[in-house]
């Protein structure tokens, strides 16, 4: 499929997740790739890295939008690294460039991304993350990716 026609699923979450959240992030990444969607993330460690690793292992494509000045800062599983030099300000860009978002775990950085996602009209699916109005709760990686795809394609749900 043409890159520009593929759905982009943003995966957001903490840079220091526990073991369970890491596994979930990896699985979410795998499923995104299996569904022929592109993974968008912040390009660094933790949930971002595990999801990217999962996506690449399943043959998918990954985009990382980085806080620093250098594309070389990306984790090794990012195909297209975009440096922004914006620091935490880049969180707005992660939300802006996703068609739908899956939030896994996470701290205040993840909360900015959930809030920006809502501002930009994106649906957000949550896995053990902030309990914020509008976030659709999922119990597993499978459910999260299915809900993300359903909410991106409301007509098929």
Does residue 12 interact with a second copy by CB under 8 A?
A: no
Q: Who's near 100: CB < 8 A, 6+ residues apart?
A: 7, 9, 10, 122, 123, 124, 125, 148, 149, 151, 152
Q: Is 59 in the site for a second copy (CB under 8 A)?
A: no
Helices 47-57 and 19-34 pack at an angle, to 10 degrees, of: 40
Q: What is d(CA 7, CA 26) in angstroms, rounded to the nearest whole number? A: 19
Residue 99, SS3? coil
Minimum distance from residue 140 beta carbon to a second copy (Å): 25
Q: Does 132 bind a second copy (CB under 8 A)?
A: yes
- 141-152 vs 19-34: helix crossing angle, rounded to 10: 40
Nearer to a second copy, 135 or 138 (CB): 135
* Interface with a second copy, residue 153, by CB under 8 A: no
What's the token pair of residue 4?
């520009």
Q: Which is nearer to a second copy, 8 or 22 (CB)?
A: 8
Query: Which range, of 11-19, 45-53, 91-99, 145-153, touches a second copy by CB under 8 A?
Result: 91-99
The span from the CA of 68 to the CA of 56, in Å, is 23
Q: Which stretch binds a second copy (CB under 8 A): 11-19, 47-55, 88-96, 143-151?
A: 88-96
First CA to last CA distance, the chain? 22
Reading the block at residue 147, the tokens are: 């809900």
Binding-site member from 15, 35, 73, 79 for a second copy (CB under 8 A): 79
Contact call for residue 136 and a second copy (CB under 8 A): no
List interacting residues with a second copy (CB under 8 A): 2-4, 8, 63, 65, 69-71, 74, 78-89, 92-93, 96-97, 108-109, 111-112, 114-116, 118-120, 132
């Amino acid at each position: 499929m043409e890159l520009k026609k593929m759905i982009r699923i943003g995966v957001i979450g903490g840079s220091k997740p526990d073991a369970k959240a890491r596994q979930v992030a990896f699985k979410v990444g795998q499923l995104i790739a299996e569904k022929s969607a592109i993974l968008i993330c912040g390009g660094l460690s933790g949930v971002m890295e595990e999801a990217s690793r999962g996506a690449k292992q399943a043959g998918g494509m990954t985009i990382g939008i980085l806080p620093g000045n250098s594309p070389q800062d990306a984790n090794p599983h990012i195909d297209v690294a975009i440096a922004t030099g914006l620091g935490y300000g880049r969180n707005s860009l992660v939300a802006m460039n996703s068609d739908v978002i899956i939030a896994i775990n996470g701290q205040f950085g993840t909360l900015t991304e959930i809030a920006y996602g809502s501002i930009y009209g994106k649906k957000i699916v949550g896995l053990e993350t902030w309990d914020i109005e509008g976030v659709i709760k999922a119990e597993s990686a499978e459910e999260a990716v299915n809900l993300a795809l359903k909410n991106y394609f409301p007509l098929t749900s």
